[in-house]
Structure 1
Amino acid sequence: MRFIPTSVHGVIDYIWGIALLSTPWLLGFADVPAAKWVAVVFGVGAILYSALTAYELGVLRLLPMPLHLIFDGIGGLVLAASPFLFGFADRVYLPHVLFGLFSVAASLLTRMETVLSTGHREPA
């Protein structure tokens, strides 16, 4: 059941991206290059494609919401697996796994239609 409105998902997107981007320094793994760069790339990437999404907090509104949610789901799986795929699980893994699984959950629980500023629903 999809119950998260796209407007809430939009807020989560930007917070999630900034939080992930900052984790290497906040959680003390900036000295692990692969772990740091995965967090930075995924954080910046999420902010960028959120800005390009056709939802309430999108800036350019080019990407349809279903495509955004596919990015969230696939990206979340890759992010969760990244410590094991890129060989840094012995140093740090929990932030990547938790952020990744959160992204997958959000992709499965968010509605696919948006209510834009005009008040009409945009179909998925």
Structure 2
Amino acid sequence: MRFLPTSIHGVIDYLWGFALLSSPWLFGFADVPVARWGAIVFGMGAILYSVFTAYELGALRILPMSLHLILDGLAGALLAASPFLLGFSDQVYLPHLLFGLFSVAASLITRMEVTLATGHREPV
């Protein structure tokens, strides 16, 4: 069931991206290079494709929301699996797992249409 409006998803995108970027220092794994860089790359990537998404908080509005949600789901699954795939799960895994699962969940509950300033919903 898709109930999350794209306008709220957009706010979450930027907050999630910046939180993920800062997570190595907030959660004390900045000394694990592969874990730190994974968080930085995924955080920057999410912010970057959010800027390009055709939704309320997109600046350039090139990518359709459907592609954005696919990227959220795929990137989230990869982020969640990254500690195990890249071999740092013995040092840190929970932030990557939780941020990744959150991204997958957000991709599954976000509406596929953008609400315009007129109040009209438009599929994207």
Per the TM superposition, whether the score is higher than 0.5 is yes
Q: How much has 1:119 moved relative to structure 2? A: 3.7
Following the alignment from structure 1 to structure 2, what is the Cα–Cα distance between the partners of residues 80 and 119?
36
Distance 1:108 1:70 in 2: 9
Question: What is the correspondence of 1:110-121 to structure 2 with a 5 Å cutoff?
Answer: 110-121=110-121
Percent of paired sites with the same residue: 76
Correspondence for 1:105? 105
Give unpaired runs (5+ residues) of structure 1: none
Indicate yes or no: 2:123 matched with 1:123.
yes
Moved over 6 A (4+): none
CA distance in structure 2 between the partners assigned to 1:18 and 1:117 by the alignment: 27
Match status 1:54 vs 2:54: yes
Query: C-alpha distance in 2, partners of 1:67/1:106?
Result: 13
Q: How much has 1:121 moved relative to structure 2?
A: 2.2
TM-score, normalising length: structure 1: 0.97
Please list, as runs of the form range in 1=range in 2, the aligned pairs for 1:1-124 lying within 5 A after superposition. 1-124=1-124
TM-score normalized by the length of structure 2: 0.97
Q: Which runs of 5+ in 2 are unaligned?
A: none
Residue correspondences, number: 124
1:49 alignment partner AA: Y
The residue type equivalent to 1:64 in the other structure is: P
- Mapped to 2, the partners of 1:119 and 1:111 lie a distance apart of 15
